Structure 1
Amino acid sequence: MTTLTLILTALIGIEHLGFMLIEMFAGPKTQARTFAMPYEFVSQPQARIALENQGLYNGALGLLIILSMVIFSGSTLLSLVRLYMLFVMIVGAYGGFTVTKKIYFVQLLPATLVLILSFF
């Protein structure tokens, strides 16, 4: 894997840790603006719980990506990066379709780029 691929992979991991922070700890105004959701919706207790739960998953994914880069190398790391990027692509495609088109550019496009670069 090239240095560029590793840097972009790390950035995607950090990005998901950022999603976790917003989903779990940001206020409803920030969440509504960031995720293009109505303020009235993200202010509801059930929506707050759902966002916090989603934040746990994003945090776990971000941590897995970063820790994998520290723990593994060679073909094992390459396989894990490809697996994680496929997962991020699937989630990004679904989120872009169901929530906001912005997710295509923030999540799907970078993961697709890393997956493609991982073959060079």
Structure 2
Amino acid sequence: MEANPILGLDLISLIVVIIVALEHIGIGLFEIFGRDDRQAKAFDMPRSFTSQAPAKTALANQGIYNLMLGILIFACIFLLFPHPVALVIVLRLLMIYIMIVAIFGGITATKKILLIQLAPALIALILLFF
């Protein structure tokens, strides 16, 4: 599919980037407001840990980063829409950022992060180069 000269990237790239943004908003909301048992299962942690106040605070803090990252991606799309070259550059940088954070999370927390966060960002990054 050929890139849209107005947007600077093709529709498939834009859709995958939007999926990445929505995913991070969802993850953020889950980390901030999710139930202890579901968070424990999702992050391969004992429920006795996720039910503790310090763990809830740490997850919520992590969640606000993910939530704001998703919102930032949408803000970049809307604010940089008239500047397609800048939009693509910023989106590439954000996908690289997500990939680095996902690799760290996959190493330190749970391997699921590699599939859930790294893979979509990697696909988006690859599409942003075509």
Which residue among 10, 17, 25 is the counterpart of 1:17? 25
Aligned to 2:64: 56
Query: Higher Cα Rg: structure 1 or 2?
Result: 2
How far apart, in 1, do the equivalents of 2:117 and 2:31 lie?
15
Compute the TM-score of the two structures, normalised by the length of structure 1: 0.96
Q: Is 1:84 the equivalent of 2:100?
A: no
Measured after TM superposition, the shift of residue 80 of structure 1 is 1.0
**Aligned residues between the structures:** 120
How far apart, in 1, do the equivalents of 2:32 and 2:79 lie?
27
Compute the TM-score of the two structures, normalised by the length of structure 2: 0.89
Aligned to 2:74: 66
Q: Is 1:36 the equivalent of 2:44?
A: yes
Measured after TM superposition, the shift of residue 98 of structure 1 is 1.0
How far apart, in 2, do the equivalents of 1:15 and 1:113 lie?
14
How far apart, in 2, do the equivalents of 1:3 and 1:35 lie?
33
Question: Structure 1, residues 13-51: CA drift from partner, whole Å, max 9, x if none?
Answer: 000010111111111011111222111111111111000
Q: Is 1:93 the equivalent of 2:115?
A: no
Percent of aligned pairs with the same amino acid: 43
The structure richer in helix per residue is: 1
Post-superposition, which runs of at least 4 consecutive aligned residues in structure 1 deviate over 3 A? Answer: none
How far apart, in 1, do the equivalents of 2:14 and 2:47 lie?
37
Long gaps (5+) in structure 1:
none
How far apart, in 1, do the equivalents of 2:114 and 2:33 lie?
24
Long gaps (5+) in structure 2:
1-8
* One-letter code aligned to 2:78: V
Which residue among 54, 61, 67 is the counterpart of 1:46? 54
How far apart, in 2, do the equivalents of 1:7 and 1:35 lie?
27
